[in-house]
């Protein structure tokens, strides 16, 4: 179900995705054995759209593209670009979640 939300464009930490999924089950937390119908998954999408700002997948992709091969690709550089660039896409904690 998390993968469905990610593929639908919601680039958020897992706990936020889990909250949206739990909400459609009327639960306070997501059960480990939860199963979802398509209608429930789309309800989770509506929940996210209504209550959350999506961390733009495009902004994340732009951050990845701004790291050149000459500079190397390490977590320190990724954190600089994604969390402290001109347009931060994620906080340091959110990047750790991703």
Q: What is the pLDDT of residue 69?
A: 62
The alpha carbon dihedral of 40, 36, 4, 48 has a sign of positive
Q: Can you give the pTM of this predicted structure?
A: 0.56
* Domain spans, the chain: 1-94
Q: What is the pLDDT of residue 15?
A: 85
Q: What is the pLDDT of residue 42?
A: 92
Q: What is the pLDDT of residue 63?
A: 67
| pLDDT (tens place) for every residue of the chain, 98 residues total | 988 888 787 877 788 889 999 999 999 888 888 999 999 999 999 998 887 677 666 776 776 676 666 666 667 777 877 787 666 778 888 887 77
């Amino acid at each position: 179900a998390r993968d469905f939300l990610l593929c639908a464009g919601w680039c958020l930490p897992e706990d936020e995705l889990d909250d949206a999924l739990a909400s459609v089950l009327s639960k306070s937390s997501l059960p480990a054995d939860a199963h979802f119908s398509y209608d429930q998954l789309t309800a989770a999408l509506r929940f996210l759209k209504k209550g959350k700002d999506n961390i733009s997948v495009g902004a994340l992709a732009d951050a990845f593209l701004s790291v050149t091969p000459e500079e190397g690709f390490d977590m320190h550089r990724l954190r600089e670009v994604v969390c402290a660039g001109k347009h931060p896409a994620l906080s340091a904690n959110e990047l750790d979640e991703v």
